[in-house]
Structure 1
């Protein structure tokens, strides 16, 4: 296999996968000096946008090419012109694969349990199922269909279901936050995750797009098909089933878990023997953190982030990113990713940017307001939004309670509820007013998209002082990086408090919780991931560690 990279293609020649492949095939013929019959297969490997020069925005492609004869590949590599040799290389990468099936004699009598059906838990359960271990997956929220109805009911009737909402339910928080698959790390599992998502119904473009996304309108069906695959392999999934206790053996390992099931009637509890548990509860499962503290598991504070959602007109972001090429069908809605490093070590940065999306109501506790962002697959909305965040370190928190970060999050969410005037309205402020320390009275060019309505006010009253101060210092700095980012009529809506977990469930090199062999803290909630791809990767890693423990 030969990889050819840095293939520059005009926008008009890259409006579809087929058009991109035509351009890659032409470059393969030129560089390798082969004819079409010599090319056994060609696949688009990566597609990105080069917008460094606004007068020459174009696509950059890479392709994987297999020639009809392996000997021909060696000859072709030798014929590549000297000036292009840094763009052409032989690649031999093993195909990604699930863990090998565990022999029947090595399988434990008790099936492994996975707690939480977010990205980490879902892929952990799938990996265990592919290995023949028939896991039990429990999820406190609903399946995708019922969960969607719960979210819609909250956004129309203001009736919050604390167990089934944008934070809890099949697919986790990622299901209703666009489904961005960006990652800053490289791991062989990434290809396996992407292929699994495509097989479950995600668009093929996530296999090669440099900034892939699935879309909140597509993800519910995708995660449902993954659950069906787990069931087909002998796994069991229980929805509306919440972890309430962990029974520990004298050596600290789990002996059993107690779960509480509730589906429209009275709650019932069940004790389930469990010697191996993957705990992928998510960053909003505060009751699980309290359970772990009560049962003396090792917990530590970790740095997390807080802030607000910022909204601009998508057309303004498109022009700032792409110049005259804005609006070209090969580009779509422009994303951005920004950071400002402030004096003193504080950072202001964007996260979970949703092109053509909307701000969503992401509360999971009665009497608290939380915002997040989402966009559909088409990303055709009028506004762009992103989390605009400031790091909160353990040193910013009082005392030594490992859950002090949770207390801060909850206090800000309740303050936002009060500031919004109740009914889960969110506090909002124009950027110009925020920078000038004055309350806002209404919108300008940018109409906020938060579905339960906003109350125009001062966001400082719902944010820690150091977060508000850092945002004021950071917004002008970000405006120097992306033209118009500090637009006075951009909208800030608060509070964005659930971008990451404020807690780490400490684990050792075997991925087990310290002092608790057989319990595998996993994913964002445990402090080991920061997005869909990293969470799914950590789920597979913990599944592999559990399988290794059987030996």
Structure 2
């Protein structure tokens, strides 16, 4: 049992040590009476730029806490019972083979960790490289344009999120979210992610965390095969019997499919094997870059650059006249735009930040929703073909070798090719060329972006009419399909196949993907006993 206190305010120039004293004052006790003290939540309140503050929630343990909380009768003070973690009881069925996990992104990694720690000895298959080798391969692509089709920003240990900002925000409400954050912290992430209102790890820290989790899986009896690609499924009477990996058959009656949102060849194989899936809406657009200082001033006013605040972020949304959503996505303060292709002669961008977020540019995707009405054909894979078509246009428009088309936002609005940069220079590698980005985007997306940029200028001065630039194109916002599953999280068409995470269409970020991986592993544990 403990007391939770909400809405404790710390002014920007106050010392953090005062937070404990403020909690004591709120409870009308002395600071010395507090036996345990923990920050639960910290968020920036920048609604009034001349008076930026931090709003905090804390947990306090002290003598007679329940009686004290009832006596004070304050809406910001409440008793919280300590809820013990739900025990997952193993089932009775016997496995004929160890469970196989495909993919070492957040969903597969947490599913594998959870199974390994409970004695199920999972075999994890990852088509890409381990993080140390993958980092070298990705850096070579960024510097030279030499693309490895199996190990890149999309494929490899850690998943696509490894080369991002490592954002740990989510809109889902699930008790497993705290477990995910605690696990990341335990394996090397900064402790502040457990209470920060907008937690992030940064790509540099995330690489260490992923390596540490990998080692724990191995220590716990799991096995991980890198550079090992799922090529086919062996199905008999709608029941999974085996998987084909690098040409070899591996017996398998429980497969967690955590392939990520860019495994197009795997989607095609699943379609051939009549695994039921449906096309799903997603969004495409561009990567936007601005001066981080400009964003800081717009968001924090005179406090821009204050060491307690760090680089500012933003979240912008608009609904177009046609009803489409236009919004910023995966905003990376103090970061850079990166090449994220996974197919030859197809150009894809993404954003990345290190933990310190100390580079000159802020970047974000700005995207427009697209759906079935925009895709041609009857196949559930028609969204993939839609993505491919525009990625290939962007590649050609950039001139080849993964050079990206770039344009000032103000020139995009005026439908003219840019001729010179202002203060903001592109960070994308291997390089950029001035082009008209309307030539590699659907007309509906172009009009949506133009309408959105005009609206965003009203929210952040200089967003569209300053020196901001756009780099094309961003297409991998989420999976273009959903692999349908039942209440047991199994495929509705193949027993023993468990589609999960972003690639199956059931998550949208690191935390939600990891949670979905945990839920899937729990279902297997509840049905089967350890090996």
TM-score interval for Structure 1 and Structure 2 normalised by the shorter chain: over 0.9
* 1:213 maps to 2:205: no
User: Match of 1:330?
Assistant: 308
5+ residue gaps, structure 1: 261-268
Query: Residue 149 of structure 2: which of 162, 169, 172 is its match?
Result: 162
Displacement after TM superposition at 1:95 (Å)? 4.5
Query: Residue 75 of structure 1: which of 59, 64, 67 is its match?
Result: 67
SS at match of 1:272: strand
* 1:484 maps to 2:462: yes
5+ residue gaps, structure 2: none
Higher relative contact order (CA 8 A, sep 6+): 2
* 1:89 maps to 2:81: no
Aligned ranges 1:299-310 → 2 under 5 Å: 299-310=277-288
User: Match of 2:183?
Assistant: 196
Displacement after TM superposition at 1:102 (Å)? 3.4
Query: Residue 259 of structure 2: which of 259, 278, 281 is its match?
Result: 281
Displacement after TM superposition at 1:106 (Å)? 4.5
Matches of 1:296 and 1:41, distance apart in 2: 56
Tell me, yes or no, if the aligned pair for 1:46 and 1:63 is still in contact at 8 Å: yes
Displacement after TM superposition at 1:2 (Å)? 0.6
User: Match of 2:244?
Assistant: 258
Query: Residue 326 of structure 2: which of 348, 371, 376 is its match?
Result: 348
Aligned ranges 1:74-153 → 2 under 5 Å: 74-80=66-72, 85-96=74-85, 100=88, 102=90, 106-153=93-140
1:204-224 CA-to-partner distances (Å, cap 9, x unmatched) read 110110000001111111101
Matches of 1:374 and 1:400, distance apart in 2: 35
Matches of 2:290 and 2:118, distance apart in 1: 47
Displacement after TM superposition at 1:101 (Å)? 6.5
Matches of 2:46 and 2:178, distance apart in 1: 26
Matches of 2:358 and 2:106, distance apart in 1: 25
Q: When the two structures are superposed, what TM-score results if normalisation uses the length of structure 1?
A: 0.94
Tell me, yes or no, if the aligned pair for 1:504 and 1:527 is still in contact at 8 Å: yes
Matches of 2:287 and 2:413, distance apart in 1: 15
Matches of 1:13 and 1:169, distance apart in 2: 44
Tell me, yes or no, if the aligned pair for 1:96 and 1:189 is still in contact at 8 Å: no
Give the alignment's Cα RMSD to 1 decimal: 1.4
The alpha-carbon distance between structure 1 residues 50 and 513, as it changes in their structure 2 partners (threshold 3 A), is: same
Aligned ranges 1:470-509 → 2 under 5 Å: 470-509=448-487
Tell me, yes or no, if the aligned pair for 1:342 and 1:474 is still in contact at 8 Å: yes
1:242-263 CA-to-partner distances (Å, cap 9, x unmatched) read 000001120x121100001xxx
Matches of 1:396 and 1:411, distance apart in 2: 12
Tell me, yes or no, if the aligned pair for 2:88 and 2:526 is still in contact at 8 Å: no
User: Match of 1:177?
Assistant: 164
Matches of 2:288 and 2:447, distance apart in 1: 16
Matches of 2:108 and 2:94, distance apart in 1: 20
User: Match of 1:265?
Assistant: none
